[in-house]
Structure 1
Amino acid sequence: MTSARIALVTGANQGLGRGLVEGLAARLGPDDLVLLTGRNAERVAGAVAHVAADPATRSRVAGRVLDVTDADAVARLAAELHDQYGGVDFVVSNASAMLTPDRSQSAQADDFIDVANGGALAVLRSFAPVLRAGGRLLVVASSLGTLGHLDPRLQPLFDGASLDEVEKAVESWRTALHTGTAEELGWPRWINVPSKVAQVAAVRAVAAERRDTDLPADRLIACVCPGLIDTALSRPWFTDFSGAQTPAQAATAVLDLLLTERVDPATYGELVRFGRVLDWHDGTPPQLPDGLLVN
């Protein structure tokens, strides 16, 4: 067991993930450990070298190859950190797959869903149980993750759902995408929308089960929307980046929530954007991005 704080970020080779690792490494202490994870060993090593070379880095930074689509691998890492350190203190589920408008949504669905939704589910299932007192677990989502962005016919699938029910709804949506029935069933054409709603619903499901034990122990489980960031993932979708943040800038609000001294109960299990809780039932079906290919 150790008194050192342990932090882990998934999808941390670049973009927001690396910005979060950089911020944690600068704001935590020299005895603390920040684990930078990704599924490509070479990119993980390069990102660790980049962070370690920054004069602002105070904490120890180590790389771990982790494919969040492999739930068993996620569980093994959580068990290892529990055995070695007694648990973890900060976890950010940030991994996401590239989604572009020039390829059909259905052709990209499996990889995107496996990483964004399967990865978030695996992290929640394996790391929430090893979160130490005072710990924080955040899932990076989007303001598109509120329930109102879905057709009213689909909202009951996620509203008040258990984690298993959320997973079942995601698989039902995946099947509809591949059978060509998604649109008639009311699923949005842009797969980013139900993916984000499902991420937030998963967090809400875990939080509903753990709230009574987590809040007295000052633990936080929540979703976070970092806002528009100028990254390779967002570049294909937007033309005006005049108001976009750099990954380092976007990491600031996330880090402030992650490192808050005491948990605000109002944020527990919710989707938080720049410190403000977004209403779960808010939102309207979004306008389709230009040039979107569906099938």
Structure 2
Amino acid sequence: MTVALVTGATQGLGLALVEGLAQRLDPTDTVYLTGRDMNRVMTAVESMPGGGAEVRGELLDVADHQAAQRLAQQIRERHGGIDIVFGNAVMRVGPDDDPRVIADQYTEVNNFGTTRLLRAFAPLLRDNGRLLVVASSLGTLHHLAPVLHDRFTTPSSLDEIDEQIARWRDELKDRRTGAWPAFVNIPSKIGQVAAVRVLAAERREDDLHRGILIASVCPGMINTPTSALWWNVSTAPTPAQAAVALLDLALDPVKPEHHGELVRFGEVVPFS
């Protein structure tokens, strides 16, 4: 029996990933649809077309420091482990949001929420498991001033990544922005990709032996209301269309060269 979980799954890409997994898996399999609002979670579960895997709703607010560990423990008790995890929870920002005002909540969800998910669910991965964090091609050092690169290349643990994100957050709040880009998505996405790289490096030999893939993924531009605040997305793929490449990565045989990397449409996007 395959067990899968998607965070941030009540709308957009997360909802499309749940539906795609349910359609591709068998009735004996389970897909957990999670979010931070239980009413929205249950509404999303009820919107599923039926057929394929069972879709179960669970509360998971990644900003809650203990929530990921609690749910991981529950899944361990129910199923003994997990096969597919998509980390898709994100706090969205608009052009009118003041980065200094949102810095605490933004990093709590997008970055510390990601590292909490990695810590909680990586130990539960069964043989041939997948742990995929939805990031962006903005999450590469190409978008960051060279003087800042070592902030994300020298850490060797998730704790050290968290320290660098906290340092950036505090500099942002105190207006000590220096060489940091004004668009907060860039350092945040780089932090997510760096966290995946660090965890994958720690586990690489055993993961490859067991057929496990840990990676970050870029779905490309998606036609959503939030993206439309920043760019013209009128011709961009729908969430369901964007989900296809991510589902393929989760369900197709592992390519060792993808381990620890940022993958877009099946190809590695170099970190530096």
What is the TM-score with the length of structure 2 in the denominator? 0.97
CA distance in 1, matches of 2:249, 2:32: 19
Answer whether contact 2:211 2:254 (CA < 8 A) is retained. Answer: yes
**Are residues 1:23 and 2:23 paired?**
no
In structure 1, the gaps of 5 or more residues are 282-295
Answer whether contact 2:161 2:191 (CA < 8 A) is retained. Answer: yes
1:273 is aligned to 264
1:171 is aligned to 166
1:87 is aligned to 81
Return the offset for 1:233.
Answer: 2.4
Answer whether contact 2:223 2:235 (CA < 8 A) is retained. Answer: no
Q: What is the 5 A alignment of 1:221-260? A: 221-238=214-231, 240-260=232-252
Q: Judge which range, 156-165 or 244-253, deviates more.
A: 156-165
SS in 2 for 1:233: helix
CA distance in 2, matches of 1:164, 1:123: 13
1:136 is aligned to 130
The residue type paired with residue 128 of structure 2 is G
**Are residues 1:189 and 2:182 paired?**
yes
Answer whether contact 1:160 1:205 (CA < 8 A) is retained. Answer: no
**Are residues 1:65 and 2:59 paired?**
yes
Cα distance per residue 1:59-105 (max 9 Å; x no partner): 10010011011131101111111122111000000001120001212
What is the TM-score with the length of structure 1 in the denominator? 0.90
1:220 is aligned to 213
CA distance in 1, matches of 2:164, 2:22: 37
Cα distance per residue 1:169-211 (max 9 Å; x no partner): 00000100111101x2x11111000000000000000000000
SS in 1 for 2:226: coil
Runs ≥4 residues deviating over 4 A: none
Return the offset for 1:160.
Answer: 4.1
Question: Alignment partner for residue 8 of structure 1, among 5, 24, 45?
Answer: 5
1:208 is aligned to 201
Answer whether contact 1:157 1:165 (CA < 8 A) is retained. Answer: no
The residue type paired with residue 101 of structure 2 is A
SS in 2 for 1:153: helix
Answer whether contact 1:93 1:119 (CA < 8 A) is retained. Answer: no
Answer whether contact 2:224 2:233 (CA < 8 A) is retained. Answer: no
CA distance in 2, matches of 1:267, 1:161: 20
Task: Tell me the matched-pair count.
Answer: 271
The residue type paired with residue 240 of structure 2 is A
Q: CA RMSD in A?
A: 1.0
* Percent of aligned pairs sharing the same letter: 51
SS in 2 for 1:158: helix
The residue type paired with residue 60 of structure 2 is L
**Are residues 1:42 and 2:35 paired?**
no
CA distance in 1, matches of 2:176, 2:12: 34
In structure 2, the gaps of 5 or more residues are none
SS in 1 for 2:159: helix
CA distance in 1, matches of 2:100, 2:242: 30
CA distance in 2, matches of 1:204, 1:24: 25
The residue type paired with residue 73 of structure 1 is A
CA distance in 2, matches of 1:205, 1:160: 10
Q: Judge which range, 107-116 or 61-70, deviates more.
A: 107-116
CA distance in 2, matches of 1:232, 1:180: 29
